[in-house]
Structure 1
Amino acid sequence: MKKFEEKTISSETLYKGKIINLQVDEVELPDGNTSKRELIKHPGAVAVIALTDEGKIVMVEQYRKALEKSIIEIPAGKLEAGEEPSVTAKRELEEETGYGCKQLDHIISFYTSPGFADELVHIYFAKGLYVLENAKAADEDEFVELIEITIEEAIQLMKKQRIYDAKTAYAIQYLQLQAGQGGK
């Protein structure tokens, strides 16, 4: 038995969407009582820390309806069914930025909000960037602007809440740590 395991008694799917599914599970708690859990099921996502030869972080600005504002982020996107995260990372880098890379290294994977969602984000570091002649087109409902900034500029944008999401904050801290340790 897993420590503090909550055994599912019943599960009801309330919504099936393009990106997420919403379900409510009735669970038996470790003490024998029951409770309900509202859960978001997500296919997972990738995000790419891409650094140019000039030391600029490749980012995109896009409108996020959930926040009702535009924010600046590292390139990212959801996994397609059966797709390996590294394939998704290369595709998203290409579609959102027009860059390809010579090397792609997995850095870490983490759950975004384990209290109610199973979304797992895989972070990759792209090296040896080059501009693609025939880059894949972005999704038809996705409008992004390419931005290349230094770590110092990124820190200032965080203070101004223009960079305001966990994956991008992680990317900036990762790059700061790498710079402090002689780079990677």
Structure 2
Amino acid sequence: MNPNSSEHLKEKWLSTEPVFQGKIINVQVDTVELPDGSVGKREIVKHPGAVAVLAVHEGKLLLVDQYRQALGRCELEIPAGKLEKGEDPMEAAKRELEEETGFKCGSIRLLHSFYTSPGFADEIIHLYAAEDLKEGAVSPDEDEFLEIYKVTLEEARQYITEGRISDAKTLLAVYLWQFGAASADQS
């Protein structure tokens, strides 16, 4: 089968029932007609999208350690945050990098955009590489408590092995850094 001709798999939208409207996400149940003509339900999380930043300064990856209630523990992650309504992803990436790490970047470029869980959510993350970094003051959101880490590639690999780094965006960033998709040193 040719993945470019998958029209026969398409589901026809019939209706949407809003279930929850939150500060960050909304949840809805869509009723769809399946390819065989039967009817199905799809639970969908609507999310405004997010940005994440691969930033390497003097050969070390910038990470933030932050408590994640959904996991019940702290997680080491690259700087990231949700998009505000109408916000340009590149500007959001610069903002998140500076708020969470204090670093400003001279240039920034999109590495890749990806969906986190397309089976039930429309969240897309735009992953950027920040370059020409200059250190400044950290200014996290008022409900954001974090510590900044600067780690080598070897340390990042060890944190992955230990499970301290386990979220998709940070795993992807480390692998892109490891395989040279981003500059080895963006100081």
Normalising by the smaller structure, the TM-score range is: over 0.9
Aligned residues: 181
Alignment-derived partner of residue 173 in structure 1: 175
Alignment-derived partner of residue 43 in structure 1: 48
Alignment-derived partner of residue 100 in structure 1: 104
Residue 160 of structure 1 deviates from its aligned partner by 0.4
The percentage of aligned residue pairs carrying the same residue is: 53
Task: Tell whether the 8 Å contact from 2:46 to 2:121 is kept in structure 1 after alignment.
Answer: yes
Residue 181 of structure 1 deviates from its aligned partner by 9.5
**Counterpart-to-counterpart distance in 2, 1:5 and 1:56:** 45
Alignment-derived partner of residue 119 in structure 2: 115
**Counterpart-to-counterpart distance in 2, 1:146 and 1:68:** 20
Residue 182 of structure 1 deviates from its aligned partner by 7.6
**Counterpart-to-counterpart distance in 2, 1:78 and 1:171:** 17
Counterparts of residues 5-16 of structure 1 (less than 5 Å): 5-16=10-21
Alignment-derived partner of residue 138 in structure 1: 140
**Counterpart-to-counterpart distance in 2, 1:15 and 1:33:** 26
TM-score normalised by L of structure 2: 0.92
Residue 8 of structure 1 deviates from its aligned partner by 1.3
Residue 84 (structure 1) aligned with residue 78 (structure 2): no
Task: Tell whether the 8 Å contact from 2:177 to 2:184 is kept in structure 1 after alignment.
Answer: no
TM-score normalised by L of structure 1: 0.93
- What one-letter code is carried by the residue in structure 2 that aligns with 1:156? Q
Structure 1 stretches of at least 4 aligned residues deviating more than 6 Å after TM superposition: 179-184
**Counterpart-to-counterpart distance in 2, 1:183 and 1:144:** 24
Instruction: Tell me the SS of whatever aligns to 1:164.
Output: coil
**Counterpart-to-counterpart distance in 2, 1:140 and 1:110:** 28
Structure 1, gaps ≥5 residues long: none
**Counterpart-to-counterpart distance in 1, 2:30 and 2:182:** 46
**Counterpart-to-counterpart distance in 1, 2:27 and 2:106:** 38
**Counterpart-to-counterpart distance in 1, 2:118 and 2:7:** 16
Root mean square deviation, CA, Å:
1.9
**Counterpart-to-counterpart distance in 1, 2:37 and 2:79:** 44
Residue 10 of structure 1 deviates from its aligned partner by 1.1
